[in-house]
Amino acid sequence: MANIDYNNLKTNYETSVQKVEMGLWEKIYYPEVIRGLLLTTGHFVRNMTVHIAHVFGLARNKRGAVTYQYPEERRPIHRRYRGRHRLMKKPDGSERCTACMLCETICPTQCISIIPQEHPDPAVEKHPASYEIDILRCCFCGYCVEACPCDAIRMDTQKVEIANWDRTRMVYDKEYLMTDITGPGAPPENDPPLWWLQ
């Protein structure tokens, strides 16, 4: 194998950054400063006018600013975004997880803890007596979802508000992970979601 001299590597590809020459008007400097101030002031006056109009119930179809008014207004999240985990359920409401331990094994931050148990139904080998995710250690890599052989864990919840005042409440247990999510951030209803297969 050829030895590469990393200290003398030559980069002869063209840069994508094109230098733009300044015109006389920009070189004078002050006219551009004044133009910037007028532009900013114009946006401020326009947005303030729209906000005041909203207070009086007017111009409802106009936005007062380009920023999202969180938390009332949530920024759209891409459907492939890896949000907070959820454990999938069988039609009878029991967990789909078979406690095979693959997700716990592959998790790079070792934040999944599973205690397997014999299933009361002899047709099913195991199920998790306990399934916990320490979300403070999770790096949201999605390996657990990829490793699961029975689609028992997903990160399609679009839940991004996972902060808490209490660290002990950041360890999600099986019951919490199996709770149906409604309202903003709820995952798609179709199972399996068609977009996942696209």
Known binding-site residue numbers for [4Fe-4S] cluster:
97, 100, 103, 107, 138, 141, 144, 148
CB of residue 122 vs ligand SF4: minimum separation in angstroms? 19
- Gap between the Cα atoms of 169 and 189, Å rounded: 27
Q: Which is nearer to ligand SF4, 108 or 184 (CB)?
A: 108
Q: Which is nearer to ligand SF4, 99 or 156 (CB)?
A: 99
- Gap between the Cα atoms of 127 and 101, Å rounded: 10
Query: Residue 95: exposed, middle, or buried by beta-carbon count in 10 A (0-12, 13-18, 19+)?
Result: buried
Within residues 142-171, the interface with ligand SF4 by CB under 6 A covers 142-144, 147-148, 150, 152-153
Listed ranges 50-58, 61-69, 95-103, 185-193: which one lies at the site for ligand SF4 (CB under 6 A): 95-103
Residue of 90, 97, 149, 93 lying closest to 127 (CA atoms): 97
83, 84, 86, 103: which one binds ligand SF4 (CB under 6 A) = 103
CB of residue 123 vs ligand SF4: minimum separation in angstroms? 16
Q: 3-class DSSP state for residue 87?
A: strand
- Gap between the Cα atoms of 142 and 35, Å rounded: 48
Beta bridge partners of 118: 126
CB of residue 3 vs ligand SF4: minimum separation in angstroms? 37
CB of residue 187 vs ligand SF4: minimum separation in angstroms? 16
141 binds ligand SF4 (CB under 6 A): yes
- Sites of contact with ligand SF4 (CB under 6 A): 97-103, 107-109, 111-112, 114, 133, 138-144, 147-148, 150, 152-153
